[in-house]
Each structure stands twice: as C-alpha cells, then as structure tokens.
Amino acid sequence: MPPISQRAELMPASPIRKLVPLAEAAKARGTKIYHLNIGQPDVPTPQVGLDALRHIDRTVLEYSPSDGYRSLREKLVEYYAQYQIKLSPDEIIVTTGGSEAVLFAFMSCLNPGDEIIVPEPAYANYMAFAISAGAVIRPVVSTIEQGFALPDIAEFERLINERTRGILICNPNNPTGYLYTRKEMDRIRDLVKRYDLFLFSDEVYREFIYTGSPYISACHLEGIEEHVVLIDSLSKRYSECGIRIGALITKNRKLRDAVMKFCQARLSPPLLGQIVAEASIDAPRSYSAEVYEEYIERRKCLIDGLNRIPGVYSPIPMGAFYTVARLPVENSDDFCAWCLSDFSYEGETVMMAPASGFYSDPAYGRNEVRIAYVLNKRDLTRALFLLEKALEAYNSRK
C-alpha cells in the first residue's frame, strides 16, 4: 500500500475530539457525560433563521456565487457597521465557516516554510490549517499567572526572521477568554507595520464580551488596513454552527483576488446556510441581549464554582465562552481521559479538553484544561460538582 502524505502524518488530532472514543465507551456503559469540552452552544438559533429554512421557496438548490450572495454580504456590511467596521460588500468573501476562511487566508498569504507568530494557548485548528498550507506556527506563550495577556512584544520580535509573514490573534480569545486591550492592539499594529506582516485576526467571538472594556478590532487599527485579514463566523453568535457560514474580510484587493481563486475551486459556500445566515442577521435585538445575559450568568457560575474547588484556579475570562483553568493534577491529558474511562459519580461524569493540545510545545498546559460554558447553569453546577468529586477520587488513588 502506498504511504499517506507526510502532511497528513503531521496533522494533529483535535484535542477536543481525541477523547471521543473514551466518551463513547462511557456512554455505552450508561454513563451520562456533561460536555465542557466543546464550543457547541445549547441556546436556540434565532427563530427568523429557522423560519427562513422552513419556508425556502426555491425549485433548484443551486450553486451560489463563489464569494457568496451579494444580499448576504450587504447585510453583513450593516452588521459590521454597528462595530465601527466600515466595509463594502466586495471586501467580504463568504466562506464555509470561519474554518475555511482561516485555511484560505493561509493558502493565499503563506508559502511552504513561511512562518506566522501565534500567541498560545491557541485554537488548535490553526495548527492543522498551517500544516495544510505547509506553513509553520511559531508560538509565543501567554501564561495563566498573567491572565493570558499578550506576551511581551519583544518575544514576538525575537522570533521574526526572513520567513515570518504574519501574526495571528484570536480576539476575544479561544481558549482563554482574554480580550486584547487598546495598548496591546496598538503594539501588534506597530509590529505589523514595522516588519510588513499580515495580521490574521479571528474575531468570531466579538458578540461575547462581558466587561466594560472596548472591543478593538484589527479593522480599527490605522495604517495597516491592507495587512489585515479578518476571520469571522456566524456559528457562535447565532448558535448555528451547522450552517457552515463564515467570512474572510480584507481591504487588500490583491489578496482578495488570490482568495477568490480558492473560492472558485470549491465552487460555492453552502446555499442553505447563506439563507439562514441572512435571515439570522435580522434577529431582534432581544435575541442577542438574552443570549448575552445567559452567558454572563454562566460565566459567573463557572468561574466562581471553579475557584471554590480546592487547588483549582481560573482567571476571569473577559470574552468568548471558554476558560483555561489550572487543576491540582500533574497531567491533565491523563486526568481528562481517566474522568471518562475510570470515573463516574451517580452514573455521571465530565468531559474537558486537556490544554496541552492548545500549545505547540507539549511542556505547556500539563495541568490545565479548557472548559466551555455552553451548558445551562443547572448542568454547569452539576458538572462542577462532578469535577470536584473526580479530582478527589483521582488524587486519592495511590
């Protein structure tokens, strides 16, 4: 049999999904699992989006334009204007989720061997997409002690060499929930300008910011407009991960032309998803307000609960719906697997994502986990109780 590609060998397994076989075996034994491991919100999709899907009035489910329907892109222009992001429909390319936007951004901006600098812990799929493009991620590590603030800019500069093509940030951050400050964003801007880099800015969680701090988009930064590639997604803000609609946004015409070639090769973004997306943008303000209030309460429930468990520490995330918490264990990969394979309390257990998968260097994140607060408060409270029981049992095994 011919071998599979080296690229495929290098592709990391998703840290979020790699425990799935253990979870399936636990479920087969009748154990109920509280999923703190994945960013799949349980809140309903806007009714207007569901109605649009129900009442589709078409005789042919056709390909759409490769950059997405203009009517959707026009709606998105209005949406971004609320965040002081001024765009024209031509500057927005609709993609198959934010995932495809990341992939096409890398494919269009990076040659094999090119490097991008990424603060870690980071959304694990960046690594997978970088490998797909033959590019290399150079991490700068943020720490739980500093609340996962942007590492010193000197650490970025130390990594810059002739292969460095860009910086990637996720703001608000998955997995840490950190929100970059104006000062931090200005430092990134200066770096991008000084070294003539791309700035890939993943802002799919902009709707989920819980402090009074302002949201500074990469698109707000003056003087680097042509360098910015904004990654966006409708998955999280309308709880419609399954429609697979996102966007790649850039004012750089040359880059858009390059991205469009990848878009044309994959023909079109999902038709049905675009119909739901366009309708969802018209969801009443009360929809976003309710969802927001719900997440504020969940965040409080989770963070207070975590910090009450002996030996556990979580900073207070400012945005998104995740936190990275430190646990009183030496190896969170082992602990998370053990929670599924060996532990249950009254027939229930918890599933978390070991944080090691969010760092390039396996030396980091050994005692950390990423926890998503996408469950209702009752389930979150129960999951926290189970986590405390699991830690007690795990640490008293020897």
Ligand X SMILES: Cc1ncc(COP(=O)(O)O)c(C=O)c1O
- Give the binding site for ligand X (CB under 6 A): 39, 97-99, 123, 170, 174, 202, 204, 233, 235, 241, 246
Residue 3: burial class (beta carbons within 10 Å; 0-12, 13-18, 19+): exposed
Give the pair of three-digit tokens for residue 101. Answer: 């936007």
Q: Which 3 state secondary structure label does DSSP give 282?
A: coil
Least CB distance to ligand X at residue 194 (A): 26
- The C-alpha atoms of residue 281 and residue 271 are separated, in whole angstroms, by 16
DSSP 144: G
Q: Which is nearer to ligand X, 208 or 394 (CB)?
A: 208
Q: In sequence order, what are the beta bridge partners of 93?
A: 248
Axis-axis angle for helices 125-132, 97-109 (nearest 10): 40
Shortest reach from residue 273's CB to ligand X, in Å: 10
Q: Which residue in the shown chain puts its C-beta closest to ligand X?
A: 97
Distance CA 203, CA 98 (A): 10
Kindly state the smallest distance separating residue 206's Cβ from ligand X, in Å: 11
* In the complex, minimum distance from the CB of residue 198 to ligand X, in angstroms, rounded to a whole number: 17
CA dihedral over 115, 121, 126, 131, signed as positive or negative: positive
| Closest to ligand X by CB, 274 or 349 | 274
Least Å from the CB of residue 395 to ligand X: 31
Per the CB < 8 A criterion, the answer to whether 248 and 262 are in contact is no
Closer CB to ligand X, 129 or 335, in the complex: 129
Residue 41 CB, shortest distance to ligand X, in Å, is 10
Q: Which is nearer to ligand X, 278 or 388 (CB)?
A: 278
Pairwise CA distance, residues 220 & 205, whole Å: 16
**Closest distance to ligand X from the beta carbon of 155 (Å):** 22
Query: Is 184 or 232 the residue whose CB approaches ligand X more closely?
Result: 232
Rounded CA-CA distance 397/155 in Å is 41
According to DSSP, the β-strands at 368-372 and 322-326 are: antiparallel
Complex with ligand X: residue 343 or 373, whichever CB lies closer: 373
Q: Which is nearer to ligand X, 231 or 329 (CB)?
A: 231
If the CB atoms of residues 39 and 46 are measured against ligand X, the closer one turns out to be 39
What is the nearest approach in angstroms of ligand X to the Cβ of residue 109? 17
Picking from 332, 333, 313, the residue whose alpha carbon sits closest to that of residue 323 is 313
129-359-146 Cα angle (round to 5): 130
**Amino acid identity of 55?**
H
Beta bridge partners of 118: 139
The least distance separating ligand X from the CB of residue 126, rounded to whole angstroms, comes to 8
Asked, as a colleague might, if the bond just before 21 is cis with ω within 30 of 0, I would say no
Q: Which is nearer to ligand X, 98 or 315 (CB)?
A: 98
**Kind and range of the H or E run holding 351:** strand 348-351
